[in-house]
Amino acid sequence: RKEVEQDPGPFNVPEGATVAFNCTYSNSASQSFFWYRQDCRKEPKLLMSVYSSGNEDGRFTAQLNRASQYISLLIRDSKLSDSATYLCVVNYGQNFVFGPGTRLSVLP
């Protein structure tokens, strides 16, 4: 089993849609969690950290369920500019493990 798994995608959604990404991790000792986005041929950029209490940043909401070892990202009112690959990242100690990513295409 891979350490971090994500929805395989791709997700093709119309503008304005709400889309949710799921991520599961296998190491129960994982300490911190992040969502990154990566545009084609660019480096990943931090979208948001994920806290146990859940957190929201504008149209983006991230949630963490430690018992189920599950992380989610919700994007509301999606924009064309949200098209990218979304990477779930799990950290334990100095290990920073990336999921395979889920590609999102927001269509006009």
Q: Which residues bind another protein (CB under 8 A)?
A: 31-32, 34, 41-46, 49, 87, 89, 91, 93-101
Nearest approach, Cβ of residue 9 and another protein (Å):
11
| Three-class SS state of 80 | helix
CB closer to another protein out of 49 and 63: 49
Spatial contact of 49 and 33, defined as CB atoms under 8 Å apart: yes
The string over 15-54, giving b where at least 16 C-beta atoms fall within 10 Å of a residue's C-beta and e elsewhere, is eeeebebebbbeeeebeebbbbbbeeeeebeebbebeeee
- Least distance to another protein from the beta carbon of 90, Å? 11
Nearer to another protein, 18 or 52 (CB): 52
Least separation in angstroms between residue 60's CB and another protein is 15
